[in-house]
Amino acid sequence: MERMEPDYRIGKVLFSGGEIGGRVKTLADQIVSEVSGRDLLVVGILNGAVIFLSDLVRRMPAELNIKMDFMSISSYGNATTSSGAVRILKDVNSDIEGRDVLIVEDIIDTGLTLSYLLNIMYTRKPASLRTCVLLDKREKRKVAAKVDYCGFVIPDVFVVGYGLDYGGKWRHLPDICAVEC
């Protein structure tokens, strides 16, 4: 007998594209004020953070010397909850030793992925290591993980849009929406 997948659909808009744009500008301004005059390596976590990272760095001035790199880390697969097993699928190409590094992530919930990532990155001896997350689902936190810059705190709902997906769907949406079953 074939197992039926739940019928998930896009629900309530939690944050509109306009709200997101305003918050991203504020985050960019905060980051620039703290790293002004230094080179910055921005590390985006694929795939979910690509749109957020792109908008964030485009709101930073040209005088700020920014380089970008990417990592891919898996803890969800095609599920709506984290498996708890964190794997690096693609590592950064850059040597981060002695560099100011900003990790850009789409969402933090349990904290397992970000905590795992920070532990790895600290062993590589960056000059500084900051984190910027678009969404913080604090109710789900299992381990502490340092969040320096946070876009929005959200309740315990599964969300899609603005880079976040469910099984590869709905990343392209300009708003962040709850998923309903």
Each residue's pLDDT tens digit, 53-111: 999 999 999 888 999 999 998 765 555 555 567 789 999 999 999 999 999 999 999 99
Choose the catalytic residue: 55, 106, 109, 175: 109
- pLDDT of 181 reads 82
DSSP string, 133-156: EEEE-GGG-SS----SEEEEE--S
Quick one: what percent of the chain has pLDDT higher than 70? 91
Q: Is residue 109 among the annotated active site residues?
A: yes
Q: What is the CATH number of domain 18-75+83-154?
A: 3.40.50.2020
Q: What is the DSSP letter of 171?
A: T
pLDDT digits (tens, 9 = 90+) for 17-38: 999 999 999 999 999 999 877 8
The answer to whether residue 4 scores a pLDDT higher than 80 is no
What is the mean pLDDT of the segment spanning 1-14?
76
